[in-house]
Structure 1
Amino acid sequence: MQVKKRMATLLAATALFAGLGTATGAGTASASDDCSYIWGVTNNSSAVLTLTAGVHLKKAPAAECGNVRWAGSGTELYAWCWTNNSYNNQWIWARIKGTETVGWVYNGNVYRGPGSLNHC
C-alpha cells in the first residue's frame, strides 16, 4: 500500500513541476522574438525627425536586430509610425530623407520636429 501511495505522490509532483516549467517559460521575451516577428507598419504620421547620434537603422525594433543602413548624426528622417518592443522601448519606423531607405530607429536617438507621430 505504501508503495502505491509513494508512486502516486511522485507522479503528482512530477506533473506539477512539468506544468510549472511550461508556464514559466511561456511568458519570457527576448530580442530574438523582436527580430523574428513580422512588424506591421503604416505611413500614418508626418513628423520630421533628426538623429541626435549616428546609428544603424534596424530591420526590427531592437538593438540586437540586423542593420539596414548607417545614418550619421543630423540626418533627417520622415516618421511613418511607432511601436514598443518586448522591452517596452519605443521605436519608430522611418525613411531617410531623400532616399527610399526605411528602418527602425530607437526613440532615444532622435529629436522630434513638427508633425504627427502615430502608433503603427
Structure 2
Amino acid sequence: MQIGRRVAAVLTSAVLFGGVAGLAGATGASAAAPSVLKPAISCSGWSTSHTDPGTYAYLTGTYNLKVGPYASCGNVASVSSGTELWIWCYATNDYDNVWYYGRIAGTNTTGWMSGDNLTNWGGNFGYSQC
C-alpha cells in the first residue's frame, strides 16, 4: 500500500512538474516569436511639386497641418473646419495612407494633410504625386 502511495506521489509530482515545465516552454516559445516590423517614419526629405492652377479641398474638422505625411510628424499650424486647402501634390506613406501637400488658402502656410480630413474637392484635379 505504501509503495502504491509513493508511486502515486511520484507520478503526481512528475505531472505537476511536467505541466509547469510545459508552461515555461510555451512562454519561452512565445518570447522567441518574431516581432512585427513597423514602417519607418520619416517626417523630412519628402519632395513636393506645385501644380498651378491647382485643386482645392475643405477640411472636415479642425486638424493640424503637418511637416511630413504621418500623424506623428510635427505640426505646422492648426487648421479649422471648413478651411480651404490648395492641393499641390500627394504621397502615400509607409502605412498606405494618402497625404496631400498644399497651402492654406489666403496664406503662405504649406504642409501635409491626411486625405481622410478633406472633402468637397474642386478645381482642375491636375495635381500629381510629390
Global fold match (TM > 0.5): yes
Instruction: Determine if the alignment matches structure 1 residue 115 to structure 2 residue 121.
Output: no
Question: After the TM superposition, which residues 70-89 of structure 1 pair with which residues of structure 2 at under 5 Å, given as runs?
Answer: 70-89=78-97
CA distance in 2, matches of 1:101, 1:53: 18
Match of 2:19 in 1: none
Instruction: Using structure 2 for the length normalisation, give the TM-score.
Output: 0.66
Instruction: Using structure 1 for the length normalisation, give the TM-score.
Output: 0.71
Match of 2:45 in 1: 38
Gaps of 5+ in 2: 1-33
Superposed structure 1 runs of 4+ greater than 6 Å apart: none
Q: 1:34·1:85 contact (CA, 8 Å) conserved in 2? A: no
CA-CA distance at 1:70 after TM superposition: 0.3
Q: How many residues align?
A: 93
Q: What CA RMSD, in Å, does the superposition of the two structures yield over aligned residues? A: 1.8
Letter paired with 2:74: G
Percent identity between matched residues is 35
Equivalent position SS for 2:47: coil
CA-CA distance at 1:114 after TM superposition: 2.6
Gaps of 5+ in 1: 1-23
